[in-house]
Amino acid sequence: MKAIEFKARMKNRLIRVPDNISSDLTEDKDIRVIVLLEEIENQEENDFRKISREQFLAGYSDSDSIYDSY
């Protein structure tokens, strides 16, 4: 299997393959696509938010739902 790497930005849920690479891709070839997303710069802050959200929801019970309509 041959690996080809390029950077792209998704637009309208589509990823444009650069012209210099698209010549290697023909209609009858099977391909494997792996999408790698850039990590968010401040991972520590995101971890804190995730843990905070989990802890908050862990303390929520069904009886608290009476307050949801206010």
pLDDT tens per residue, range 10-40: 899 999 888 888 887 888 888 888 888 877 6
Look at residue 65 and tell me if it is in a domain: no
Residue 67 lies in a domain: no
Structure tokens at 28: 């009858």
- Domain of residue 8 covers 1-60
Total domain count, the chain = 1
The confidence score (pLDDT) of residue 1 equals 79
Half-sphere exposure of residue 59, counting CA atoms within 13 Å on the CB side? 5
In this structure, is residue 70 part of a structural domain?
Answer: no
From CA 39, how far away is CA 50, in angstroms rounded?
A: 15
Indicate whether 3 belongs to any domain: yes
Give the pTM: 0.45
For residue 36, being part of any structural domain is answered with yes
pLDDT for 69 beyond 80: no
